[in-house]
Amino acid sequence: MASLQQTLLRQISRANRRFGLIEPGDRIMVAISGGKDSWAMLHLLREYQRVVPFAFSCVAVNLDQGHPGFPVEVLRAYLEREGHEHRIVHVDTYSVVKREIPAGKAYCSLCSRLRRGILYDVAVELGCSKIALGHHRDDLIETLLLNQLYAGQLKAMAPRLRSDDGRNTLIRPLILCEERDLAAFAVEQQFPVVPCDLCGSQDNLRRVEVRRLLAHLEQTNPDVRRSLLAAAGNVKPSHLLDARLQGGEDEVEAAGGLVAPQMLVRA
């Protein structure tokens, strides 16, 4: 039986062959949050360096956002012990998010925008050609449903994407990896996992609702996640309502005055 590491490396390799994520000479900024997924990504990319027939380099970057009690020294100690090139950046976005977002509302959107803007600047400063994010298969599936249910969009997560500012290319090497495998791998490797306490205690997040929906659907269809992943890569534009795909007007005048709501969920 293949080890978890072998399984995950095969999935990274398959994603790379399919989407051209990592190329010869790349310098990749690996965004490290301290969570299980980013630790696994950093470890697996170093292993991937050893098996591909070309050279690329990685630098781990953690953004210390000023969360009270965030154990930045735990991350630093692990990165130094494992010999990873790394940079830890200190910017207090925690206070901004707490000030701008009303109590009871989800912090994720603003927190993510602030974090990415900072990381984009750091990537340019470090001369990185790519930024690797730790989103996995289940993140993609949940985002696909979130955008359909709450934002009126058919949209998920791109495995490779040019950033809005045009300066960076984002890649998601774990996009075909299952969350349960990554969780088991984190335990196996004893990564120093640090939870996100800023939003992790919020029970009303829509993503939690979608996870519950998926768990319910899996009771009668164990392959529902596999089907949704396949659907994200098997689009039939001729069978959708976007007038731009049908050769019509730029904006759809839907029956009954139905229009797509303002985008609420960002990939």
Is the pLDDT at 72 greater than 60? The verdict is: yes
Residue range 85-119, pLDDT digits in tens = 999 999 888 888 777 777 766 667 777 788 888 99
Q: What distances in angstroms separate CA 19 from CA 13, 69, 233, one per listed residue?
A: 10, 39, 11
Of 159, 181, 150, 167, give the one whose Cα is nearest residue 229. 159
Q: Are strands 86-90 and 160-162 parallel, antiparallel or unpaired?
A: unpaired
Residue range 38-52, pLDDT digits in tens = 999 999 999 999 999
**Are 192 and 75 a contacting pair, CB within 8 Å?**
yes
CA gap 250, 247 in Å, rounded: 9
Which superfamily is assigned to 4-234 in CATH? Answer: HUPs (3.40.50.620)
- Determine the 3-state secondary structure of 31 from DSSP: strand
Residue range 53-66, pLDDT digits in tens = 999 999 999 999 88
Q: pLDDT value at position 243?
A: 86
Kindly report the pTM of this predicted structure.
Answer: 0.86
Q: pLDDT value at position 260?
A: 42
